């Protein structure tokens, strides 16, 4: 690649002779040339600027001087083979990103026009664009510099390091910040493993390359969410695997079915104010568990009898119940109703898209267990003094399947139940619900037996699964 830079301070660009860029230029990987704009100013003072037309502060760089300089550098009338790009660094340009660098690294020749003062006469880039030259006006950030040289250096370094042969180890490009994955790079460490009281993650010393890769990926996702939520909101769902989505969901971002990008969610403890929305969510999601094998009228009776606002209100008030919800924070479009009526679909409460509940067997002062807790199956055997909890509900809206919310909800409710003293969890899920069984196995549950469960007057056959807290986390 050939790179030309035109500036009134050519010595400013000598920094490019250093390090990898200078080495690449010395080896011929990069053909770098710096030109003095004043060589094309022909008056006694080598003037390159004049006062702005229409008035205003500062000085504007003259189009005739720039035109002569760029005519010498650019192949305007006889374009060379390949792609040639004129780059004008300016704070009013489009933002230069890693994607921009990747695009420009495919060019054959780049010409940087480094302006000063109030900038270059706007007719200069307009003229060359009209002559068939690809012109890019680019900004390296939302701030103003004294001139375009610093910005040109930044862009040249970002572009040149992508060229074959510039970096000693091309694999350095794979996992760095702002790469194709759209994530910031994970934290990096070296020896000593303990320094000033700080230790590295033991996983890095395990030799288990799969675990190391997963840990680093999770760290990269967490760092991106924390430092650059704008990047998290722009992630490509097609590049996210199941573990990525679960990590994202636990950090407040989920990928709805068919969505182009993640959306913000909040996983939190439910309150009594959520009771109506929870009942509505339960009515939508409960049929997913058994609608193929339980008669619709039995499902309807179960929902009308058991999954009602009063149940969720009681759970939210009960210290023996850990009730967690996932709330969608992105605004949802509504349909405007005719005649000024209340728009259909206008939200009247939190937009809940998932929930999970653990009910501990501890009796209250009257000796009663929590409302809605199921009898513990005989196959669930607890040791003396062990606090047992039923993982009664883990449901997400159909629009959020595969979003990562299910494992995130299970992790959140299990962690809270553990903090509240629960040491053994059990659950029942219909024998035909293989999707749920796989999800529970991934969360560390294992089959302990079966049970018969009544759904609206009809018997259902469940697989019973158990997990001791601290396992699978």
Ordered by where they begin, the domains of the chain are 2-173 (3.40.1280.10), 262-337+348-468 (3.40.630.30)
Summarised one tens digit per residue, pLDDT across range 383-409 is 988 999 999 989 999 999 999 999 999
| Confidence at residue 296, expressed as pLDDT on a 0 to 100 scale | 92
Asked if residue 139 has pLDDT above 90, the reply is yes
Query: Which range, of 59-68, 267-276, 314-323, 348-357, averages the lowest pLDDT?
Result: 348-357
Beta bridge partners of 135: 86
Beta bridge partners of 322: 358
Distance CA 442, CA 245 (A): 14
> Confidence band (pLDDT; 50, 70, 90) for 78?
low
Two tokens, residue 297: 């009228």
Distance CA 417, CA 435 (A): 24
Angle (CA) 303 309 310, round 5°: 105
The mean pLDDT value of the chain amounts to 91
Beta bridge partners of 463: 429, 450
**pTM of the predicted structure, to 2 decimals:** 0.82
Distances (CA, A) of 274 to 313, 414, 416: 8, 20, 18
Number of other residues whose CB lies within 10 A of the CB of residue 95:
10
Distances (CA, A) of 431 to 56, 298, 439: 78, 17, 14
Two tokens, residue 401: 């399947």
| Burial class (CB within 10 angstroms; exposed 0-12, middle 13-18, buried 19+) of 297 | exposed
**DSSP string for residues in 183-252:** -PPPP---S-SEETTEE--GGGGS--HHHHHHHHHHHHHHHHHHH-HHHHTT--GGG--HHHHHHHHHTT
Q: Which residue did the predictor score with more confidence, 93 or 171?
A: 93
> Confidence band (pLDDT; 50, 70, 90) for 82?
confident
Summarised one tens digit per residue, pLDDT across range 10-51 is 999 999 988 788 888 777 789 999 999 999 999 999 999 999
Distance CA 352, CA 280 (A): 9
Quote the percentage of the chain above a pLDDT of 90. 83
Instruction: Check: CB of residue 400 under 8 Å from CB of residue 353.
Output: yes
| Confidence at residue 172, expressed as pLDDT on a 0 to 100 scale | 55
> Confidence band (pLDDT; 50, 70, 90) for 175?
low
Q: Which ranges constitute the DSSP H helices of 228-337?
A: 229-232, 242-250, 275-285, 287-290, 296-306, 309-317
Q: How far is CA 451 from the centre of its chain?
A: 41
Asked if residue 347 has pLDDT above 50, the reply is no
């Amino acid at each position: 690649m050939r790179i030309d830079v035109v500036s009134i301070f050519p010595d400013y660009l000598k920094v490019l002779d250093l390090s990898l860029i200078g080495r690449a230029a010395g080896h011929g990987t990069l053909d770098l040339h710096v030109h003095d704009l004043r060589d094309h100013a022909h008056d006694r003072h080598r003037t390159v600027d004049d006062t702005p037309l229409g008035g205003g502060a500062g000085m504007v760089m003259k189009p005739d001087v720039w035109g002569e300089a760029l005519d010498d550098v650019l192949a305007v009338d006889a374009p060379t083979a390949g792609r040639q790009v004129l780059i004008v660094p300016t704070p009013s340009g489009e933002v230069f990103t890693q994607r921009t660098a990747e695009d420009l690294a495919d060019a054959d020749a780049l010409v940087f026009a480094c302006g000063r003062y109030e900038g270059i006469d706007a007719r200069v880039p307009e003229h060359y664009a009209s002559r068939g030259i690809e012109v890019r006006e680019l900004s390296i950030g939302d701030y103003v510099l004294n001139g375009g040289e610093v910005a040109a250096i930044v862009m040249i370094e970002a572009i040149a390091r992508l060229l074959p042969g510039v970096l000693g180890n091309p694999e350095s490009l794979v996992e760095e910040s702002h790469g194709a994955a759209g994530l910031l790079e994970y934290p990096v460490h070296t020896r000593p493993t303990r320094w000033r009281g700080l230790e590295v993650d033991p996983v890095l010393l395990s030799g288990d390359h799969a675990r190391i890769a997963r840990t680093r990926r999770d760290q990269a996702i967490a760092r991106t969410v924390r430092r650059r939520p704008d990047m998290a909101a722009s992630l490509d769902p097609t590049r996210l695997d199941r573990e990525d989505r679960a990590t994202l969901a636990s950090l407040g971002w989920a990928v709805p079915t068919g969505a182009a990008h993640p959306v913000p969610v909040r996983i939190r403890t439910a309150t009594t104010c959520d009771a109506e929305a929870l009942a509505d969510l339960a009515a939508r999601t409960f049929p997913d568990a058994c609608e193929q094998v339980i008669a619709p009228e039995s499902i309807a009776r179960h929902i009308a009898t058991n999954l009602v606002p009063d149940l969720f209100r009681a759970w939210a008030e009960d210290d023996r119940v850990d009730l967690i919800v996932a709330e969608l924070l992105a605004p949802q479009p509504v349909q405007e109703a005719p005649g000024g009526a209340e728009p259909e679909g206008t939200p009247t409460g939190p937009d809940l898209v998932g929930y999970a509940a653990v009910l501990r067997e501890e009796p209250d002062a009257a000796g009663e267990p929590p409302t809605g807790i199921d009898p513990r199956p005989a196959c669930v055997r607890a040791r003396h003094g062990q606090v047992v909890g039923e993982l009664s509900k883990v449901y997400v809206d159909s629009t959020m399947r595969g979003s990562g919310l299910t494992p995130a909800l299970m992790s959140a409710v299990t962690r809270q139940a553990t903090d509240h003293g629960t040491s053994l969890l059990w659950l029942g899920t219909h024998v035909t619900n293989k999707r749920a069984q796989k999800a529970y196995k991934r969360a560390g549950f294992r089959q302990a037996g079966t049970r018969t469960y009544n759904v609206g007057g009809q018997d259902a056959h469940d697989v019973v699964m158990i997990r001791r807290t601290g396992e699978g986390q």
